[in-house]
């Protein structure tokens, strides 16, 4: 983390009423230790979980809890105008909804509406709330307006159970704030959707049709997009730790992935890195494990939905679609009849045309050290209207950086905004 980006910066720390409010104390401490001047704003419900005196002891500015507890007549205006950044941690479903709707129901929401500084929110709530269509739509609206979203992550939740909705680690929240202030944002204000991992299509409750995709490359792409300022949602089948600043939606099958992607398909950038099964059993053995003693089962397959082609068919102007092509270009008898590079390029261009998308990242999974399960990869990045970029065997994070470079290049060529656009009248 570049702590110099925080030194001397005025940061409003909003705290909402949720059990994760106690973690905001650590966010406040870390911001102060890095040299930031922190002004905490607690909602009335936040004070039920953590006392204002705690923040008073850590923050540079006085703790505010109401529009009416200050001698100045317009505290929200002053806070909003003087802030270099506003961060809300935790951000509840209520805060997200009121902010998205432009409702100033308390000092915190009034400050959010009164500022032109960057805004970072760190949602925290139970899984059912996080996945509710209203919350999904409200977050999508905020992302389109340039709000940076950090987390949530998957983990143990209040009240028992585990799932998506746990507040991001305070260190990751502070790192995201520092990244925004440091201006590492050639994709600031851009909403990105990434898929990762291999889908599993059930034969019975125990067995499935799948592939060897680990999800590592998709996670690396999501991490790089977030590092460069994008608000990233990752739809994943993989059991990997969520990258800092990335919201993860867990799925298992192609149908579940299709549903999750469709709900978020209006993102500015969509990177389909997941290895989606092409076929699935037409009828899985519901609730009953098939046994050897029952004889060889007849498994009838049907095609899975073509998620990427579906996105392309309903894409909006200016949206960038990136697909992946896992090929065996160097395997004996590979189709194409040319060199591995020629075969890979041919497959990539064929996929560009067939899917109607903008960029294809092709890799040869038969090549040593590349493809599934490895920590390294070698790819060919082919744009429909740009140069072909070959990345020799390297770490998947290095490959991810090249892919995101291609995303930025495409947006340059197509006039995509590389920083948040000025608010429209609708959003003022």
Asked if residue 222 lies in contact with residue 232, where contact means CB atoms within 8 angstroms, the answer is yes
Which distant-in-sequence residues (6+ apart) come within 8 Å of 227 by Cβ?
179, 184, 245
Whether 211 sits among the annotated catalytic residues: the reply is yes
Single out the residue of 300, 297, 299, 309 nearest to residue 254, CA to CA: 309
Number of H helices, E strands in the chain: 13, 19
366 class by beta-carbon count within 10 Å (0-12 exposed, 13-18 middle, 19+ buried)? middle
Asked if residue 83 lies in contact with residue 117, where contact means CB atoms within 8 angstroms, the answer is yes
Give the residues across from 324 on adjacent strands: 361
Which distant-in-sequence residues (6+ apart) come within 8 Å of 422 by Cβ?
none
Look at the block and give the residue holding tokens 């997200």. 96
Q: Furthest-apart CA pair in the chain: how many Å?
A: 81
Single out the residue of 47, 46, 40 nearest to residue 11, CA to CA: 40
Q: Which two tokens stand for residue 89?
A: 């941690």
| DSSP for residue 338 | S
Rounded Cα–Cα distance for residues 280 and 300 (Å) = 8
User: DSSP string covering 386-427, please?
Assistant: S-EEEEEEEEHHHHHHHHHHHHHHHHHHTT--SSPPPPPGGG
Which distant-in-sequence residues (6+ apart) come within 8 Å of 223 by Cβ?
243, 244, 246, 397, 400
Three-class SS of residue 193? Answer: strand
Give the residues across from 209 on adjacent strands: 201
What is the SS3 string spanning 234-270? EEECCCCCCCCCEEEEECCCHHHHHHHHHHCCCCCEE
Q: Of these residues, 138, 211, 343, 363, which one is catalytic?
A: 211
Residues acting as catalytic residues: 211
């Amino acid at each position: 983390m570049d702590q110099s980006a925080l030194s001397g910066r005025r940061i409003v720390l909003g705290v909402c009423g949720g059990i994760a409010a106690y973690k905001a104390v650590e966010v406040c401490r870390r911001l102060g230790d890095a040299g930031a001047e922190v002004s905490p704003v607690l909602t009335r419900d936040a004070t039920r979980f953590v006392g204002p005196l705690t923040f008073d002891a850590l923050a540079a500015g006085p703790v505010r809890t109401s529009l009416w507890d200050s001698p100045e007549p317009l505290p929200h205006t002053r806070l909003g105008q003087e802030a270099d950044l506003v961060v809300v941690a935790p951000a509840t479903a209520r805060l997200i909804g009121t902010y998205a709707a432009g409702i100033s129901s308390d000092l915190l929401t009034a400050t959010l509406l009164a500022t032109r500084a960057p805004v970072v929110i760190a949602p925290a709530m139970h899984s059912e709330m996080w996945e509710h269509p209203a919350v999904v739509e409200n977050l999508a609206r905020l992302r389109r307006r340039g709000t940076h979203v950090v987390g949530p992550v998957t983990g143990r939740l209040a009240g028992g159970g585990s799932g998506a909705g746990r507040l991001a680690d305070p260190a990751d929240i502070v790192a995201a704030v520092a990244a925004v202030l440091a201006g590492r944002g050639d994709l600031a204000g851009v909403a990105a959707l990434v898929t990762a991992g291999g889908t599993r299509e059930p034969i019975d409750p125990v067995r499935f049709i799948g592939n060897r995709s680990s999800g590592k490359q998709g996670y690396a792409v999501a991490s790089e997009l977030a590092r460069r300022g994008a608000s990233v949602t990752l739809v994943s089948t993989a059991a990997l730790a969520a990258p800092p600043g990335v919201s993860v939606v867990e799925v298992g099958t192609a149908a579940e992935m299709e549903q999750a992607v469709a709900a978020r398909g209006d993102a500015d950038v969509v990177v389909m890195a997941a290895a989606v099964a092409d076929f699935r059993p037409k009828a899985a053995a519901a609730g009953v494990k098939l046994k050897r003693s029952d004889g060889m089962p007849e498994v009838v397959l049907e095609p899975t939905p073509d998620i990427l082609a579906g996105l392309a068919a309903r894409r909006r102007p200016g949206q960038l679609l990136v697909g992946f092509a896992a090929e065996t270009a160097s395997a004996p008898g590979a189709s194409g009849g040319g060199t591995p590079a020629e075969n890979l390029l041919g497959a990539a261009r064929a996929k560009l045309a067939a899917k109607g998308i903008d960029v294809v990242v092709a890799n040869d999974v038969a090549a040593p050290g590349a493809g599934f399960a490895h920590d390294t990869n070698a790819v060919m990045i082919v744009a429909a209207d740009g140069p072909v970029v070959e990345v020799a065997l390297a770490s998947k994070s290095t490959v991810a950086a090249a892919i995101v470079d291609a995303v930025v290049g495409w947006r340059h060529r197509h006039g995509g905004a590389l920083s948040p656009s000025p608010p429209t009248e609708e959003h003022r």
